[in-house]
Structure 1
C-alpha cells in the first residue's frame, strides 16, 4: 500500500533541522511561523502555530522574549519542542519540563537531545509499519499505538508531578 510506504518514509526522513542547520540570522514572526512548518511533521499536515500562540508562550515564560521583533535560533529550538509537547502536555506541564531540562543544560544541548530522542521514537514507530499490512493489521497497530500513547501520556503527567 502506497500510503503505508509514504507514512514510513515520513517517519524515517522528516526530522527537525539539526541545531547547525537552523538559520543563525534573526527572523520575523511570519518567517518563524513559515519555518516551523518544516520543523514539525504535525504543522505541515494541518496543525497550526500562530503569532498569538507564540506570544502566549512568551507571556507564560515557555519561550524567551524576542530581541525586538526578531527571533533567533534558540526560539526555533524552543518552539520545535513546544509544538510537540503541547500535543501531550498542558502549557504548565510543558513549562515544567522545559525548566527541568534546562536547569543544567543550555538550549543547544537540550535541542540536540530532543532531536535524538525524536529520531529514536519515529524510527521505532516506523519499524512497526510494514508495506504488506492488511486492514486488520493496521487496525491492530492503531489500537496498540493509541493505548501506548495514552499510557505514556499518563506516565508523563505523573512523573512531571514528581519533579515539581
Structure 2
C-alpha cells in the first residue's frame, strides 16, 4: 500500500507546462516526441511508448492536430499532441477530435483550451490524493477499490460521450 500512497503524492505534485512555457521553436518530429515524453512521463504507467512517429502521422492525417509546416512542428502542434496523449487513454479518436474542436471554439483559442486542459488535468490528479478516492489499508481490499474506480471511470466516460453528442446536435 505504501507504493500507492507514494504514487498518489507524486501525482498530486505533477504539473504540465502552460502555453507560454512551451517552446516556440520549429521542431523536428523526433524533438516533438521527446518533449511530449518528457512532459507526460512522470504520470505515465506502462512500458508502451508514450507517442511514436506513426502516431503523430496518424493524428495529422486524421485532422486531430495541425500539420507541420515544412516538416517542422510548433507550439500549437505540441499542445495538441500533449492533450491527445492524455485523452487517447480514455476516448476514441473521433471523440478526441470533436472534444478538442468544441473546446477550442468555446474558449476562442488553442492557447486557452490548452491551459484549461492543463488546469483540469492537474486538478483531477490532485483530487486522487486528497481523500476523494478512499485508499484501503489492507491489500486485499485493493480489488474493491479497482471495481469502484473502474465503475466511476465508465460512468464518467459515458457522461463525456453524452456531452459530445449534445454538442454535435447544436
TM-score (norm 1): 0.89
Which residue of structure 2 lines up, in the alignment, with residue 133 of structure 1? 137
Counterpart position of 1:160: 164
Q: What SS does structure 2 have at the residue aligned with 1:70? A: coil
**Structure 2 residues without counterparts, runs of 5 or longer:** none
Q: Which of 113, 117, 120 lines up with 2:120 in the alignment?
A: 117
Whole-Å separation in 1 of the counterparts to 2:116 and 2:152? 22
Question: In the TM superposition, what are the counterparts of 1:7-26 in structure 2 within 5 Å?
Answer: 7-26=7-26
- Name the structure 1 match of 2:79: 77
Q: Take 1:65 and 1:3, find their aligned partners in 2: how far apart are those partners? A: 41
After TM superposition, give the deviation of residue 66 of structure 1 in Å: 0.8
Count of residues in Structure 1 that have an aligned counterpart in Structure 2 = 164
Cα distance in 2 for partners of 1:109, 1:91 equals 21
Is this contact kept in 2: 1:38–1:44, CA < 8 A?
no
Aligned residue runs from structure 1 range 20-35, under 5 A: 20-35=20-35
> 1:20-77 deviations in whole A, cap 9, x for unaligned?
2211212111111111112224556434211111111111111001111111111111
Confirm or deny: 8 A CA contact 1:37 1:44 kept in the other structure: no
1:29-108 map, 5 Å: 29-41=29-41, 43=44, 45-48=46-49, 49-104=51-106, 105-108=108-111
Q: Give the Cα separation in 1 of the matches to 2:127 and 2:159.
A: 19
Q: CA deviation at 1:113?
A: 0.4
**Distance in 1 between the 2:135 and 2:158 partners?**
31
The separation in 1 between residues aligned to 2:18 and 2:65, in whole angstroms, is 19
CA distances 1:51-105 after superposition (whole Å, capped 9, x unpaired): 1111111111110011111111111111111111111111111111111111142
- Distance in structure 1 (CA, Å) of the matches to 2:119 and 2:88: 19
On the 8 A contact 1:97/1:160 being kept in 2, the answer is yes
Q: Give the unaligned 5+ runs of structure 1.
A: none
For residue 131 of structure 1, report the CA deviation from its aligned partner.
8.0
Instruction: Give how far 1:133 is off.
Output: 2.2
